[in-house]
């Protein structure tokens, strides 16, 4: 009897097991090992409990990777599955929301997890929870997996779906990556990706809890790297919000930024001249206003004061009619190029995904099997292809799991 072992019962592992069981010969057992007491713990937390499970436009420019060419090939194979159809065929009605994001129609991540569990049961996948993989060995064509309680499982194919380093509180605390490394894989340096950022604390004093809409641009010295528009959240340690989390992906070593800073433009729809004119007109209508009164109704007053101080325009008790033309220019510049420096990620616990991982050239793009180690597959967050916010990471996790499961099953059937 053949055995396919799936290590990790998260997003990629559950669909890999379903796909393997659907394509396997009758004499093949599919076994899923998960260290948590329940399957899909991280999946339940995705999309704020709604599970943004895919996106209708998953092009390579939505992924952080050292190897966009191979990533593009992987994505084109995943595209052929048509994940929305796959989910529909498995009973999950989906809805498309803003920017091509796909959600379960019920808006419940729990429904996605429960439906996947239903199929695991229907297809007689042997699920072992509370089962932590501690060792993997290979002799000839057989893989042996040892778990924390000393149990041993033998498999003819093994799909490693144990996630990356991001979100260790959900179970993925790096064993998947360690396994790849120990298996001889070349690894791209890891970094927490899609993560809030710390910055110079002086720049955010008294701003914790405030949210503003802005265009956030990442610069390396004077070079513009990337811009995202969205809501920026100020915290006691730094800045957060989807736009900032997207920018965090560019802090990976593969992009080689030396002195990254983020500049916020609080008025992206205005040119600098138009904003200066607006500021001056406004001052003529309220000449006796103090700076804080002047800012009220323009931007959040605390934000206005913080920008005012970065512009070095003197005491905030100044009356606006005392400002000279060049000072209005400076204030307009400050409101459009508010700089945040000393950027640092806030660690794996706050990260939604893992930047870096298995260098993609070692993976067969149609199956996620290692080219040098047939029978061994790495899927999901273990590979060097981290997506933006918007369903791109689950696209990769589900897509790679489905491809690997199908390939492992069909390969054994044909052997
Ligand atoms: C808060 C949060 C929200 C997110 N929201 C979204 C979203 O809306 N859309 C999106 O596309 N992406 C989202 N992501 C990212 C997405 O969840 C991950 O990229 C995806 O889950 C990765 O799938 P995976 O199967 O590779 O890993 P995981 O889902 O992390 O699964 C790995 C599994 O392996 C198990 N495991 C680990 N080590 C062992 C071991 N030694 N033995 C046995 N089992 C082991 C873990 O317990 C875990 O269950 C979010 C992430 C977080 C943290």
pLDDT digits (tens, 9 = 90+) for 342-377: 999 999 999 999 999 999 999 999 999 999 999 999
Query: Residue ranges of the domains in the chain?
Result: 2-192+354-414, 196-346
Ligand 1 centre distance from Cα of residue 10 (Å): 5
Global pTM?
A: 0.96
**Which residue has a Cα nearest atom 45 of ligand 1?**
8
Query: Which CATH number is correct for 2-192+354-414, 3.20.20.60, 1.10.150.240, 3.20.20.120, 3.50.50.60?
Result: 3.50.50.60
Q: Is 165 in the pocket of ligand 1 (CB under 6 A)?
A: no
pLDDT tens for each residue of the chain, 415 residues long: 999 999 999 999 999 999 999 999 999 999 999 999 999 999 999 999 999 999 999 999 999 999 999 999 999 999 999 999 999 999 999 999 999 999 999 999 999 999 999 999 999 999 999 999 999 999 988 999 999 999 999 999 999 999 999 999 999 989 999 999 999 999 999 999 999 999 999 889 999 999 999 999 999 999 999 999 999 999 999 999 999 999 999 999 999 999 999 999 999 999 999 999 999 999 999 999 999 999 999 999 999 999 999 999 999 889 999 999 999 999 999 999 999 999 999 999 999 999 999 999 999 999 999 999 999 999 999 999 999 999 999 999 999 999 999 999 999 999 8
Q: Is 392 in the pocket of ligand 1 (CB under 6 A)?
A: yes
Which tokens sit at 144?
């042996």
What are the b/e assignments for 68-77, b being 16+ CB within 10 Å?
eebbbbbbeb
Sheet strands side by side (includes 152-155): 133-139, 142-147, 152-155
Residues in the chain: 415
Comparing C-alpha atoms, which of 119, 147, 136 is closest to residue 39? 119
Ligand 1 centre distance from Cα of residue 11 (Å): 6
Q: How many whole angstroms separate alpha carbon 335 and alpha carbon 117?
A: 51
Which tokens sit at 378?
């790495």
Q: What's the angle, vertex CA 33, arms to CA 353 and CA 116, rounded to 5?
A: 70
Comparing C-alpha atoms, which of 131, 56, 62 is closest to residue 353? 62
Q: Is 172 in the pocket of ligand 1 (CB under 6 A)?
A: yes
Which tokens sit at 397?
């996790």
- Name 150's Cβ contacts closer than 8 Å, sequence gap at least 6: none
Q: Is 6 in the pocket of ligand 1 (CB under 6 A)?
A: no
Q: How many whole angstroms separate alpha carbon 404 and alpha carbon 406?
A: 6
- First and final CA of the chain: distance in angstroms? 13
Q: What's the angle, vertex CA 28, arms to CA 22 and CA 34, rounded to 5?
A: 75
Q: What is the pLDDT of residues 29-50, one digit of tens each?
A: 999 999 999 999 999 999 999 9
Q: How many whole angstroms separate alpha carbon 129 and alpha carbon 250?
A: 36
Q: How many whole angstroms separate alpha carbon 128 and alpha carbon 404?
A: 20
């Amino acid at each position: 009897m053949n055995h396919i072992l799936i290590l990790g019962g998260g997003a990629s592992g559950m669909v890999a097991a379903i796909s393997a069981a659907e394509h396997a010969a009758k004499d093949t057992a599919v076994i899923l090992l998960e260290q948590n007491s329940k399957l899909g713990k991280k999946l339940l937390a995705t999309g704020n409990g709604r599970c943004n499970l895919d996106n209708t436009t998953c092009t390579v420019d939505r992924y952080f990777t050292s190897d966009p060419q191979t990533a593009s090939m992987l994505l084109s194979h995943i595209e052929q599955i048509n994940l929305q159809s796959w989910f529909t065929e498995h009973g999950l009605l989906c809805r498309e929301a803003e920017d091509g994001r796909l959600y379960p129609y019920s808006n419940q991540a729990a429904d996605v997890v429960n439906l996947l569990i239903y199929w695991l049961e229907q297809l007689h996948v042997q699920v072992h929870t509370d089962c932590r993989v501690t060792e993997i060995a290979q002799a000839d064509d057989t893989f042996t997996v040892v778990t924390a309680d000393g149990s041993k499982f033998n498999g003819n194919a093994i799909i490693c779906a144990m996630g990356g380093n991001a979100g260790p509180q959900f179970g993925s605390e790096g064993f998947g990556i360690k396994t790849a490394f120990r298996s001889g894989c070349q690894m791209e340096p890891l970094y927490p990706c899609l993560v809030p950022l710390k910055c110079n604390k002086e720049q955010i004093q008294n701003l914790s809890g405030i949210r503003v809409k802005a265009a956030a641009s990442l610069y390396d010295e004077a070079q513009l790297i990337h811009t995202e528009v969205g809501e920026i959240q100020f915290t006691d340690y730094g800045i957060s919000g989807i736009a900032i989390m997207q920018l965090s992906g560019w802090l990976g070593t593969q992009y080689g930024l030396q002195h990254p800073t983020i500049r916020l433009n609080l008025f992206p729809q205005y040119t600098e001249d138009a904003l200066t004119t607006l500021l001056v007109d406004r001052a003529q209508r309220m000449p006796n206003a103090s700076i804080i009164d002047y800012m009220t109704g323009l931007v959040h007053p605390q934000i206005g004061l913080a920008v005012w101080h970065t512009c070095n325009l003197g005491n905030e008790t100044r009356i606006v009619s005392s400002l000279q033309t060049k000072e209005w220019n400076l204030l307009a510049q400050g409101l459009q190029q508010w700089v945040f420096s000393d950027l640092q990620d806030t660690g794996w616990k706050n990260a939604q995904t893992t930047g870096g991982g298995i260098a993609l050239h070692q993976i067969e793009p149609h199956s996620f099997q290692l080219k040098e180690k047939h029978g061994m597959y790495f899927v999901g967050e273990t590979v060097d292809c981290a997506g933006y916010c918007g369903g791109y990471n689950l696209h990769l996790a589900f897509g790679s799991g489905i491809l690997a499961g199908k390939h492992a099953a069909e390969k054994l059937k044909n052997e």
